[in-house]
Amino acid sequence: MLDIVKVVDVPESAEIIFINTCAIRDNAEQKSLHPPKVVVLGCMAERLKDKILDADKMVDVVCGPDAYRDLPRLLEEVEYGQKGINILLSLEETYADISPVRISKNSISAFVSVMRGCNNMCSFCIVPFTRGRERSRPVDSIVKEVAELWKEGVKEVTLLGQNVNSYNDASEIEKEVETGMNWKYSDGFSSMCKVKEVGLRFSDLLDRLSSEFPEMRFRYTSPHPKDFPDDLLYVMRNRHNICKSIHLPAQTGSSAVLERMRRGYTREAYLDLVQKIRRIIPDVGITSDFISGFCGETEEEHEDTLSLVKAVGYDMAYMFAYSMREKTHAHRTYVDDVPDEVKQRRLAELIEAFRESTGQCFDSQIGSVQLVLVEGPNKRAPDTELIGKSDRGHRVLFTNLPLPNQNEDGSQARNPVVGDYVEVLIMKSTRASLFGEALAITTLSSFYNNLDQEAVANAS
């Protein structure tokens, strides 16, 4: 495909404009139903193919999320005056050998897709119908892509997948067809879909990446809480370059609503998992997703969600008022009976509960020394301040001054540059950002080796 598509910097000079779409929430779908463009990609394309092609005559190609490899042929069809359409979902497509074109060449962070699709059937969710079944890229192909990124100067990679920690590379393992007995879920969690071929799991992938690229940071999103077996938590604890930040979508704090949502866990199991994560990985940041006003949600069930937020103490969360999606189990089975104004009021209460919880998480960092990966100047004070991200994902600002370099004996102090790791003593929190005093330029390994040595000295 890349042979025929040349990426341009100026949108006005493009001959073809691709619009990637997402059908997960209704709002996004409404906004992009009338694109003045010719090629519509992604899962909305898959879902609304007839509407897009028939109603919007200007659209020439509709290409589902698994059909990117077919784009040259689809574009050729247009040359011959036809509409190009391929919305078939695949059981195998992982885009393993397609290297994404990175528009910002100087960026120090990148996303790497490691798996696609979802085998769960949460009753509110359209993803299994638009993105298909789970399939994972082979570990070797991921390692190869990360190696390329490392060569280009990337220092932080976020591994992506609809259920990223359900990663299962069975490509080179002698297949253990049928039982799924070796698939270990988080305690108290279950899934409607049994795993048939158990291969290399997400902990194996993280283990390999973190050991082969010790100076590169790894994050991942979006995981499902059911797939946090102990060995994943221990790999995260033991490898300093796997960021101590876990997204743990709860969706609601009520066991009854969880059951209607078909999430495969209870409030108690979720809270036990949070406790276990914090026991194994101290100072981990936890983030989440929540839906307000799901079908049949009572005031009491909503209160359960507010109390869960307070009990866990999240760093951040994505929160939405429920919007019913066609094709889903909820659409077939339940009534969307919580009035809009009630959904909005509950959402506002949820956001308020979060402000408190998030603020406390930020404040708790004051006085600590954080390893910050420098991302660039602070746009509000570009000449004097730098901005970066801590291991836990907090935004950290600090004054741009010459600093000693811990790893170069006798070298002159210099100002940090994009991609440097800097030790920062956190002095202040605005509850949305942290402000600190930069102490030294360092490397990821030496920062954590020093911390380990200090911990041993304090213990003896």
Residues forming contacts to ligand SF4 in the complex (CB under 6 A) are 118, 120, 122, 125, 127-128, 162-163, 224
Task: Report, in this order, helix, strand and coil percent for the chain, each rounded to 5.
Answer: 35, 20, 45
Q: Which is nearer to ligand SF4, 163 or 442 (CB)?
A: 163
- What CA–CA distances, in Å, run from 18 to 11, 14, 38, 93? 11, 10, 7, 20
Using CA atoms of 128, 130, 136, 141 in order, give the dihedral in degrees to the nearest 10.
-160
Separation CA 396–CA 378 (nearest Å): 10
N-term to C-term CA, the chain: 60
Q: Least distance in Å: CB of 131 to ligand SF4?
A: 8
Q: Least distance in Å: CB of 375 to ligand SF4?
A: 29
Q: Which is nearer to ligand SF4, 125 or 347 (CB)?
A: 125
Q: Which is nearer to ligand SF4, 325 or 392 (CB)?
A: 325
Q: Least distance in Å: CB of 182 to ligand SF4?
A: 21
Please give the backbone phi and psi of residue 266, each rounded to the nearest 5 degrees, phi first.
Answer: -110, 170
Answer yes or no: are the C-beta atoms of 127 and 162 closer than 8 Å.
yes
Q: Which is nearer to ligand SF4, 325 or 394 (CB)?
A: 325
Nearest partner of 295 among 267, 264, 254, judged by Cα: 254
Q: Which is nearer to ligand SF4, 162 or 442 (CB)?
A: 162
Answer yes or no: are the C-beta atoms of 418 and 387 closer than 8 Å.
no
What does DSSP say about strands 369-377 and 385-390: parallel, antiparallel, or unpaired? antiparallel
Q: Which is nearer to ligand SF4, 84 or 293 (CB)?
A: 293
Q: What is the DSSP string of 366-402?
A: TT-EEEEEEEEE-TTSTTTEEEEEETT--EEEEE---
Answer yes or no: are the C-beta atoms of 223 and 163 closer than 8 Å.
yes
Q: Which is nearer to ligand SF4, 290 or 362 (CB)?
A: 290
Q: Which is nearer to ligand SF4, 153 or 318 (CB)?
A: 318
Q: Least distance in Å: CB of 71 to ligand SF4?
A: 25
Q: Least distance in Å: CB of 162 to ligand SF4?
A: 5
Separation CA 322–CA 305 (nearest Å): 14
As a whole number of Å, the CA-based R_g of the chain is 24
Q: Which is nearer to ligand SF4, 319 or 438 (CB)?
A: 319
Q: Least distance in Å: CB of 223 to ligand SF4?
A: 9
Nearest partner of 347 among 404, 292, 406, 426, judged by Cα: 292
178-197 burial: b if 16+ Cβ within 10 Å, else e:
eeeeebebbebbebeeebeb
Q: Which is nearer to ligand SF4, 165 or 365 (CB)?
A: 165
Q: Least distance in Å: CB of 324 to ligand SF4?
A: 14
Consecutive H or E run containing 427: strand 421-429
Q: Which is nearer to ligand SF4, 291 or 444 (CB)?
A: 291
Q: What residues contact 353, with CB distance under 8 A and at least 6 apart?
A: 306, 309, 310
Separation CA 258–CA 338 (nearest Å): 16
Q: Least distance in Å: CB of 64 to ligand SF4?
A: 17
Structure tokens at 136: 């994972």
Strands (E), 71-163: 84-86, 109-113, 115-116, 135-136, 156-160
Q: Least distance in Å: CB of 337 to ligand SF4?
A: 21
Q: Least distance in Å: CB of 118 to ligand SF4?
A: 3
Q: Least distance in Å: CB of 242 to ligand SF4?
A: 22
